[in-house]
Amino acid sequence: MVHRPALLGVSLCVVLGWPSAVRSETPSDPQPRTSQGRRLGAEALADDGAKLMVRGEYEAACRKYEEAAHLERSPARLLTLASCYERCGKVATAWATLGEAAELAEARGEPKKAALARETLKRLAPNVGRLKVMVPDEAQVDDLVITRDGAPLAHSLWGVPVPIDPGPHVIRVTALGRQSWQVEVGLLPGPSTMLLRIPVLAVDPERAIDEERRFLDRRDGTMSTRRPLVAAAPERAIDASGDETIGSTQRTLGLVLVGTGVTALALGAAFSLSARSTRDDLDATCAGNVCPPSSMVLFDEARAEAVRANVSLGIGLVALASGVVVYFSAPSSRAAQTGRPDGGATQSRLRLTPMLGPSEAALVAAGQF
């Protein structure tokens, strides 16, 4: 660190003269200090993350590792971050981070780290779940926006099985002049592909009128070539000629959802007990915070069972609550005849969509309220 600036000063003196040599010896260039400061900051964050990992606080540890990788983007930082993601059960995120680490290591000429990243990628690939969002042609209206957990889903990813972490995810669909649509889907750990079909968004009369008014206001100035959205006549939620069995059908569906929720809760309880038993076995093999290498199998098994328990309990609670709402919101025979519920209020619409994939089956409840 002392000799390098002196050599730089001699070389610059030959070309630019003595004043340049003097400037090179003074630490006026902030770039080395800035790089060194970012590296030291990344090291401090990584140390904090390692301490949190020892205490089992994996979510907090991953946030530290993320900040460290942001300060210093290197294959080593990304490999550590991917390992933390895997510990948290975020298999898809770990898989994507490993891919970036492998590419960066190859670009920087670090073959050992590149080989390690590729080997771990190969191990995780069979356990990555995916979500495939299908958008039919009739549902692709103007200004259609699809978000997953608040982040926009690019048009190029429509119809593509995208890697996704296990657990619940919220899919929301919006478009100008249309009623929004939202659904929550749950992906269990393991290799599976969930298929989600986006419905045609219903026209919102109030928004359509606003769009028409804005179009007319712009026509006198810029003469927009975009066709305005015309509000369609409001549809009746239920045919007045009438199917009087709709209330009975909805109550039956509510009971099915309640049964599904109870089953999922029972499975979650079983997974939770199994995870606790495996954790007890793990504690028996460890001395304090020091565990033998063979205990990693028990650790991974306990973590996987805990994730299954959390997901199953979450799905069970949602299904149970949805079943209760569906059952008690079923219209009476009078509402089925008039096409509107008692009191003249607009009826909420509920849609149950079965989704089948190569290795899973699911029932998604979605609605407009």
Least confident of 62-71, 280-289, 353-362: 353-362
Q: Which of 214, 213, 205, 153 lies closest to 178 in space, CA to CA? A: 205
Q: What angle do CA 249, 322, 159 make, to 5 degrees?
A: 90
Enclosing domain of residue 143: 129-237
The DSSP 8-state label assigned to residue 203 in this structure reads B
What is each CA distance from 228 to 14, 43, 175, 209, 216, in whole angstroms? 72, 56, 13, 10, 9
On whether residue 354 sits in a domain, the answer given is no
Choosing from 68, 99, 127, the residue where a domain stops is 127
Would you state the structure tokens that stand for residue 65, as one six-digit string?
A: 């590792």
Give the pLDDT band of residue 4 (cuts 50, 70, 90): very low
CA–CA separation, 335 and 239 (whole Å): 11
Q: How buried is residue 84: exposed, middle or buried, by Cβ count under 10 Å (0-12/13-18/19+)?
A: buried
Count: domains in the chain: 3
Is 215 found in the same domain as 138?
A: yes
Is 279 found in the same domain as 200?
A: no
Is 79 found in the same domain as 11?
A: yes
Do 99 and 125 touch, CB atoms closer than 8 A?
A: no
Q: Which residues pair with 260 in a beta bridge?
A: none
Q: Which of the pair, 347 or 310, is modelled with greater confidence? A: 310
Residue 69 scores a pLDDT above 80: yes
Is 176 found in the same domain as 115?
A: no
pTM for the whole structure:
0.47
**What is the model's pLDDT at position 64?**
95
Convert the pLDDT of each residue in 83-92 to its tens digit.
Answer: 999 999 999 9
On whether residue 9 sits in a domain, the answer given is yes
**What is the model's pLDDT at position 353?**
56
Is 83 found in the same domain as 33?
A: yes
CA–CA separation, 1 and 33 (whole Å): 12
Q: What angle do CA 95, 167, 153 make, to 5 degrees?
A: 65
CA–CA separation, 71 and 50 (whole Å): 17
**What is the model's pLDDT at position 267?**
85
Convert the pLDDT of each residue in 89-130 to its tens digit.
Answer: 999 999 999 999 999 999 999 999 999 999 999 999 999 999
3-class DSSP state of 132: strand
Do 78 and 104 touch, CB atoms closer than 8 A?
A: yes
298 Cβ contact list (under 8 Å, min separation 6) = 278, 281, 282, 285
* Residue 186: how many other CB atoms lie within 10 Å: 18
CA–CA separation, 222 and 210 (whole Å): 18
Residue 229 scores a pLDDT above 60: no
Would you state the structure tokens that stand for residue 66, as one six-digit string?
A: 């993320």
Convert the pLDDT of each residue in 318-347 to its tens digit.
Answer: 888 887 887 777 766 544 444 444 444 444
Q: Which residues pair with 287 in a beta bridge?
A: 290
Q: How buried is residue 50: exposed, middle or buried, by Cβ count under 10 Å (0-12/13-18/19+)?
A: middle
Give the pLDDT band of residue 15 (cuts 50, 70, 90): very low
On whether residue 197 sits in a domain, the answer given is yes
Choosing from 237, 261, 278, the residue where a domain stops is 237
What is each CA distance from 128 to 66, 125, 161, 164, 255, in whole angstroms? 21, 6, 11, 7, 33
Choosing from 237, 264, 292, the residue where a domain stops is 237
For range 34-57, the mean pLDDT: 89
For range 47-72, the mean pLDDT: 94
Residue 269 scores a pLDDT above 60: yes
Give the pLDDT band of residue 47 (cuts 50, 70, 90): very high
Residue 5 scores a pLDDT above 80: no
**What is the model's pLDDT at position 304?**
83
Amino acid, single-letter form, for residue 180: S
Query: What are the E-state strand segments in the chain?
Result: 129-134, 145-148, 151-152, 162-164, 167-174, 181-187, 193-197, 349-356, 361-368
Is 300 found in the same domain as 200?
A: no
Convert the pLDDT of each residue in 169-225 to its tens digit.
Answer: 999 999 988 999 999 988 888 888 888 999 999 988 876 666 666 666 666 555 444
Is 253 found in the same domain as 325?
A: yes
**What is the model's pLDDT at position 187?**
85
Q: Which of 255, 254, 236 lies closest to 336 in space, CA to CA? A: 236
Least confident of 50-64, 115-129, 296-310: 296-310
Is 133 found in the same domain as 123?
A: no
**What is the model's pLDDT at position 20?**
36
On whether residue 107 sits in a domain, the answer given is yes
CA–CA separation, 238 and 242 (whole Å): 7
Is 16 found in the same domain as 122?
A: yes
Strands 167-174, 349-356: parallel, antiparallel or unpaired by DSSP? unpaired
